[in-house]
Structure 1
Amino acid sequence: MSMKVLKPGLLTTIQDTGRTGYQKYGVLGSGAMDTVSLRIANMLAGNEETEAGLEITLMGPGPSFEMTESRVIAVTGAEFALHINGEPAPLWKPVFVKENSTISFGPCKLGSRAYLAVAGGFCVPAVMESKSTYVRAGIGGFHGRALQKDDELPLGSMTQLSKTIAARLSGSAGQNGFSAPDWAVSRRGFLPLKKNPAIRVLEGTQYNAFTEEAKTRFYHEPFKVTPQSDRMGYRLKGEPLELQEPLEMVSEAVTFGTVQVPPDGNPIILLADRQTTGGYPRIAHIISADLPLVSQTMPGEHITFRPVSREEAEMLILHREEQMKELKVRIKMEWLT
């Protein structure tokens, strides 16, 4: 009961929804960059939302895997080409895959990360209550590292829902080795990807320490995502943002989406593998509803920032969570009624 890695791709790791409750000890949260896509992939595969899946970075040649036994999978995230046994396969759907089938990821059209969930999840040890991989520290996931060729990833026990989905879909799997229902989750409804996105933010603690010109520039000029960007943070390049006067700071807590400005004036967006504290001025925080959009942005694209009120930010995240709850119920009803 395993999935074999034929090609690992640029960076493929096991991630769940994150390692919470340990930042006070200096342990990072890690977890999926785009938790919405991971949660939906798990729902479609019949798993708990928080189960671990594969986060696949879609820059350069994509990975490929061999299924050593029949399982239901679901692939969500960016817009890209997916093939099973050389045939085009659907995204944002539950897909029954026969044993000895090959799953391969092709070129990416929009976005930068895909999420693959397998019924039963991946049976790897939890470290501090999470299976998420933190590569720099070598903890979590599969031996604390990115996947490599010939790795064999053990699969967990399927839920009753996963078994039901598999039973319903297995009868229609033909010579191509897979089958899927005629419905799909709308990617645009949950992940409205755009090139060069406008990202909504709240003012940061040190927002008023910046010059009026810098604040105007922050909201009206685009910033380029540089190649020096990774799961720890996106380094942006644009017209420098200046402080009114030099600012000496004690390091403070930071979170996923904090926008810091180091002395060179070019912002850094902190992401899943961020440090637990930071000593640079915080000009803004990306709202929770837009974190998946940021995480799907490719190096070379431009980001613009748009201010929103705290009330609007709360309304947007509450609306998304209501959508997620409704989707979970509808998926269960589809298979269990």
Structure 2
Amino acid sequence: MIQILSTGALATVQDLGREGALRWGVGSSGAMDPLALAAGNILLGNDDGAAGIEVPVFPLRLRFDADGAFAVTGADVDARLDDRPLLPWSAVRARAGQVLQLGLPRRGGHWPASRAYVCLAGGIDVPPVLGSRSTQMRGAFGGLDGRALRAADTLRAGRASGEPPVEGLGLLPPALSLPLQVDGLPAMRVLPAAEYHHYTAASRAAFWAEPWKITAQSDRYGYRLEGRPLEAVAAIEMRSHGIVPGVIQVPPGGQPIVQMRDAQPSGGYPKLGTVIEADLWRLGQAPVGSRVRFIECDWDGALAALAETRRWLDEARRLVGLQRLQHTRQ
């Protein structure tokens, strides 16, 4: 069991998402950076989809009320167990009474990231709702009472796998092993969508050629971007239709909105494109106020990118498995 001692806003319990519920009008939710969550679970011998804590606002302090193992992945947040600095993206054993503290994310380096994940051996044990433990705050269900975590909350770990975590073993974050940048800015691949050609050639060219700022009006529901307004060839009127995370909608003002993990399941704005599934984590880690770039992609390229992320996860499992085997033989 752990107890939250202090936290910034909007820390929530998340797993890989609530798949298959869109037909009931329920969004997917889930980790904004599913690779970071899956990596933490791999380090601990959990299922990839075990629930962890997503932390978007810092600092955070929690206390272990029982011995157990944990991992911190995602943003480099100067994690410390009591006063001991921790290696990023690694498994650690904690004793009852020890305190984990996550500081402010480091903004330097090749890829600034904004969200950290705290994973426990056995995962966070909260009741599943529609097949997922992810928090859906708009609907007030999932996670811990359908809300963000706050001081004095307690969370239990599920039953650990029995496979001992290897302390000191770290994984190379995918932002470093799978880099994707344009002119020094984080980049995401985008598939043109149904209304792409309803925008002027100049606007389409600018979308690919110029940076876009992530504004302060961005959250888990959607990232509102700021740049050169996109101009339609003619007025577009549409009925509401189904949308999914990654869809880039364009309101009348011409400033795009990228639907994120808590996106509503329908909307009526025109769709310029869709950030591919393999790259949505990159956008989820981009800090508010930062700038990003987009790269045009086709269907085959999107499938190849997804295969590349799956290979990264497979390699992480292989490396951790080898280290665990060597550790148990000693």
> TM-score higher than 0.5 here?
yes
Question: Offset at 1:193?
Answer: 8.1
Can you list the C-alpha shifts for 1:195-220, whole angstroms capped at 9, x where unaligned? Answer: 74122111111100101111111111
Partner of 1:226: 215
Calculate the TM-score normalised by the size of structure 2. 0.93
1:82 aligns with 2:79: yes
Question: Offset at 1:192?
Answer: 4.0
How do 1:233-252 and structure 2 match up within 5 A? 233-252=222-241
Partner of 1:51: 50
Alignment match of 2:144 (pick from 142, 145, 157) = 142
3-state DSSP class of the match of 1:197?
strand
> Is the Cα contact below 8 Å between 1:191 and 1:293 reproduced in 2?
no
Partner of 2:109: none
Partner of 1:9: 8
3-state DSSP class of the match of 2:171?
coil
C-alpha distance in 2, partners of 1:233/1:126?
Answer: 24
C-alpha distance in 1, partners of 2:180/2:100?
Answer: 24
Change beyond 3 A, Cα 1:133–1:222: same
> Is the Cα contact below 8 Å between 1:198 and 1:306 reproduced in 2?
yes
3-state DSSP class of the match of 1:65?
strand
How do 1:1-337 and structure 2 match up within 5 A? 2-58=1-57, 61-109=58-106, 110-161=112-163, 164-165=164-165, 180-181=167-168, 183-187=169-173, 188-190=175-177, 192=179, 196-337=185-326
Can you list the C-alpha shifts for 1:89-111, whole angstroms capped at 9, x where unaligned? Answer: 11111111111100001111121
Identity %: 35
3-state DSSP class of the match of 2:54?
strand
Can you list the C-alpha shifts for 1:208-245, whole angstroms capped at 9, x where unaligned? Answer: 01011111111112111110000000001111101100
Change beyond 3 A, Cα 1:308–1:193: closer
C-alpha distance in 2, partners of 1:205/1:287?
Answer: 15
- The residue type paired with residue 259 of structure 1 is I
Can you list the C-alpha shifts for 1:52-82, whole angstroms capped at 9, x where unaligned? Answer: 0000004xx4111000111110111012211
Calculate the TM-score normalised by the size of structure 1. 0.91
Change beyond 3 A, Cα 1:74–1:125: same
- The residue type paired with residue 7 of structure 1 is S
- Structure 2 gap segments, 5+ residues each: 107-111
C-alpha distance in 2, partners of 1:214/1:282?
Answer: 14
> Is the Cα contact below 8 Å between 1:191 and 1:292 reproduced in 2?
no
Change beyond 3 A, Cα 1:42–1:322: same
C-alpha distance in 1, partners of 2:271/2:255?
Answer: 12
Change beyond 3 A, Cα 1:190–1:141: farther
Is the deviation greater in 244-253 or in 37-46? 244-253
C-alpha distance in 2, partners of 1:298/1:191?
Answer: 19
3-state DSSP class of the match of 2:114?
strand
C-alpha distance in 2, partners of 1:329/1:43?
Answer: 10
C-alpha distance in 1, partners of 2:127/2:192?
Answer: 39
C-alpha distance in 2, partners of 1:219/1:263?
Answer: 20
Is the deviation greater in 225-234 or in 242-251? 242-251
C-alpha distance in 2, partners of 1:123/1:198?
Answer: 35
Question: Offset at 1:137?
Answer: 1.2
- The residue type paired with residue 14 of structure 2 is Q
Question: Offset at 1:329?
Answer: 2.8
Partner of 1:176: none
C-alpha distance in 2, partners of 1:331/1:62?
Answer: 29
C-alpha distance in 2, partners of 1:120/1:273?
Answer: 25
3-state DSSP class of the match of 1:108?
coil
> Is the Cα contact below 8 Å between 1:72 and 1:97 reproduced in 2?
yes
Matched residue count: 318
- The residue type paired with residue 253 of structure 1 is G
> Is the Cα contact below 8 Å between 2:43 and 2:91 reproduced in 1?
yes
C-alpha distance in 2, partners of 1:11/1:278?
Answer: 25
3-state DSSP class of the match of 2:287?
coil
3-state DSSP class of the match of 2:62?
strand
> Is the Cα contact below 8 Å between 2:196 and 2:273 reproduced in 1?
yes
> Is the Cα contact below 8 Å between 1:192 and 1:293 reproduced in 2?
no
